[in-house]
Amino acid sequence: MPKERFPRWQKRLLLFAALGLALTGMGQMPIFSRYYIADIPGLGWLGDYEITAALHLALAVVLLFVLGMFVAGWLGKGEGRPRLTAAGWQRVVLYGALAVTGLVRVLQNGALPLVEPLAVRYLDWTHLGLAMGLLVFAVSQGRKESLRRSRG
């Protein structure tokens, strides 16, 4: 049985963070209140923007931490590190673009607005579209190997 490249707990933490981000990201839109999901006992917090926004930011930190561990572990292999497969590159692009659009959105809400007010909706749609793209990728390609042994 080959040794896993990344510990199972890191993969599970990534999955937990990604699923939590999907849930809290939908909470940024008023759909939980609009469709009475927040009225179900125990799910009222889903209709509270401040709670879902704070959880979304906290889970984003967890996700970036785990992704950083993956990158550091991969780069730490030096010359003999495995090469990224096509699925691996797709993951890098999707997570990277999600991180960039999310960071721009956080900065936009803070003291450093980078995007004109009318363009914020396109930033939000891009972030949402990338999240949906990651979902489609995870369902269709999620179990494909991201790394392959380098020759030599």
CA distance 152 to 90: 25
Cβ pair 14, 59 in contact under 8 A = no
Residue 4, classed as helix, strand or coil, is coil
pTM: 0.85
- Three-class DSSP labels, 56-113: HHHHHHHHHHHHHHHHHHHHCCHHHCCEECHHHHHHHHHHHHHHHHHHHHHHHHCCCC
- Residue 7 has what pLDDT? 84
Q: How many domains does the chain have?
A: 2
What Å distances lie between residue 105 and 4, 25, 47, 75, CA to CA? 35, 12, 21, 28
Q: Are residues 61 and 92 in the same domain?
A: no
Q: Are residues 131 and 147 in the same domain?
A: yes
Domain span holding position 58: 1-81
Q: Are residues 133 and 75 in the same domain?
A: no
- Residue 63 has what pLDDT? 96
Q: Are residues 112 and 71 in the same domain?
A: no
CA distance 20 to 56: 8
Q: Are residues 110 and 122 in the same domain?
A: yes
Q: Are residues 128 and 106 in the same domain?
A: yes
Q: Are residues 74 and 87 in the same domain?
A: no
pLDDT by 10s per residue, the chain, length 152: 445 677 889 989 999 999 999 999 999 888 998 999 999 999 999 999 999 999 999 999 999 999 999 899 888 888 878 888 888 899 999 999 999 999 999 998 887 888 888 899 999 999 999 999 999 998 888 777 776 665 54
CA distance 89 to 70: 13
Contacts of 7 (CB under 8 A, 6+ apart): none
